[in-house]
Amino acid sequence: MSWDGSAARQTGALAWRSVVTTVRLPQAWVPALFFPLVLMAIFTASFGGAPGNIPGFPPVRSFLDFAVSGAIVQGVLIGGTTAGAAFATDIEGGFFDRLVASPVSRTAILTGRLGASVVLGIAQALLFVGIAELFGADVAGGPGGFMVLLLITALFAVAVGGLGVFLALRFGSAEAVQGMFPLFFALLFFSSAFFPRETMTGWFRTAADWNPISHLVEAMRDEVVGGAEPGTVIAGVAIALTLAVLAVGASALAFRRRLREAP
Amino acid sequence: MVAIPSRVVTALAVETRDLVREYKGGVRAVNGVSLAVASGEVYGFLGPNGAGKSTTVRMLCTLLRPTAGWAKVAGHDVARDAAAVRRSIGVALQDAAIDPYMTGRELLRLQGVLHGLSRQGCRDRADVLLDRVGLVDAADRRVGTYSGGMRRRLDLALALVHEPVVLFLDEPTTGLDPLSRVTLWDEVRRLNTELGTTVFLTTQYLEEADQLVDRLGIIDDGRIVAEGTPRELKAQVGDPTLAVTPVRAEDRARAREVLSGFGPEVLGAHGCVAVRLAAGAEGLAAVVRAMDDAGVAVREIDLAEPSLDDVFLAATGRHLEGDEAPAPAGPAPAASR
């Protein structure tokens, strides 16, 4: 795999194509916006201004402050599934073959798709934070905290997008990739994405402790809610980075394996 | 880096020797194909589904590694110098899905960027190609609204963005209606005559092979079983068929008697008497005179060259399946099934 100026331009072009085709297909992005927002609204309406009365809940001005990070992570998970399914469709439909039979940089085929995941993930985070702020939430961590939020979002988008691409390369079928979606959802609910770990007990608590999503969300959430500990933030960024590296590595290997037939 | 290949001047655009592709389990989809396509030629692979056409094309397009033998495209080895092959070829593969949510112009420009054209170069090239394939009016519509024929023409244009020296078309008109099919043939022919692009295509349509290709390889079971120009191949099969339809049905026995002197009788359409004309097409005048001398009033006389289906039958012992091409006007070739 080679990287040069033309590979960067090809990445940009392929990322642009992925973003455009996603944006023009409402089925591809409406769920990624709709479900997290609905969930955020339901939780906020259910708990209102009362989370302080729940034992173990951190002091927050509004439940929205607490919920927005979980919504972003949920949106990224849905978006990654969509990206993986789209990549599988490219393989099934022949677009992938057309790329492979052309002088396009092999790396750009991967980075283009992942770049689109980052763009869409960041756009989604901006939208969710914007909406939350409209209803009274605020990022307590200020611009720095906001950057941490976006950094983790971007890294996690690469991780989930990479996992989607990996599944697409291994199975070559959009349906197979979409079949993984419930698993992602389970992973999300067995984490502290919607409730603080302090409110959990028993095996559920153990699962959430070990779930990397818990640590990502907590790092983001502390920047919004306020009082972010450097340790929590560093752990969140490090875990997001690790997941991203693992997913990209796995997808690169699967890519190489699939290209074994193409000299 | 601008990746427009300089026009490589080689005598042979495509050359393979004993090319083999074996899949797991020992199945040989392509079993020793040797062929040579000259620069500027339109070469066609005719064969049924599963004959090995697409597998061969995938090897020539660097999408599949040969398991034995070798292949060169535009002078470059497909296994050792795949990158050079990719710069020289344009590829429109069977049923390649095109993004339905993008417009024809966007897709052409994207293809331009992927091939390293400048921004302005992408714009210009898209305009030229849209014009060439007759999609100027539909250029800014989403591909989802295109007809099957328009999509195939866009597919063709996408394969031409970088001015390839060899163009691979895998079943370019499968599933198209007759009119769209003819339009696409015209495009391919124009490309070949105006730009000198070598075309390597596969088809399962007899008519397409007849109309479009300079030279034809009939492929069956992973092997080339006959090769030549359509005319040569038909000539090898044998003499033309002459069918005479007398005005009066009761003259048929008499007509049969006269014709028996010109060649062996073959099964003809209802109401006519048909023979293989041993003297070839030149024997027609003598037949007409003999009919006249015998007092047989003739309503219709039909001289038909052997069809490519006859060629396929002679080479494989089977008729070509899956030929859904509408029968051409004029003397109908033997039924395809």
A97 closest CB neighbour out of B82, B87, B93: B93
Pairwise CB contact (< 8 Å): A6 & B116: yes
Pairwise CB contact (< 8 Å): A103 & B113: no
Contacts of residue A21 in chain B, CB cutoff 8 Å?
Answer: 99, 101-102
Tell me the mean pLDDT in the region B16-40.
Answer: 92
DSSP H helical ranges for B61-147: 82-88, 104-114, 119-132
B interface mutation test: which of A24, A98, A258 has the most B CBs within 10 A? A98
pLDDT in tens, A192-222: 888 888 888 888 888 888 999 999 999 998 8
Across B193-225, b (16+ Cβ under 10 Å) vs e yields: eebebbbbbbbbbbbbbbebbebbbbbbebbbb
Contacts of residue B99 in chain A, CB cutoff 8 Å?
Answer: 17, 21, 95
Q: What is the pLDDT of residue A216?
A: 92
pLDDT in tens, A102-147: 989 999 999 999 999 999 999 999 999 999 888 878 888 888 989 9
For residue B57, the distance in angstroms to the closest alpha carbon of chain A comes to: 11
Q: What is the pLDDT of residue B3?
A: 45
Which amino acid type is present at position B331?
P
Q: What is the pLDDT of residue B328?
A: 40
pLDDT in tens, A135-185: 878 888 888 989 999 999 999 999 999 999 999 999 888 998 988 888 888
A100 closest CB neighbour out of B63, B65, B101: B63
Tell me the mean pLDDT in the region B238-264.
Answer: 85
Q: What is the pLDDT of residue B34?
A: 94
Q: Which residues of A touch B (CB under 8 A)?
A: 4-6, 9-10, 13-14, 16-17, 20-21, 24-25, 89, 92-95, 97-104, 260-263
Segments making up each domain of chain A, as ranges? 5-261
The answer to whether B202 touches B54, Cβ cutoff 8 Å, is yes
Least-confidence region, from A30-44, B43-57, B313-327: B313-327
Q: In what order do the strands lie in the sheet with B198-203?
A: B89-92, B166-170, B198-203, B42-46, B215-220, B223-228
Contacts of residue B158 in chain A, CB cutoff 8 Å?
Answer: 98
pLDDT in tens, B81-101: 999 999 999 999 876 778 889
Nearest chain B Cα to A105, which residue?
B114
C-alpha B337: how far from chain center: 19
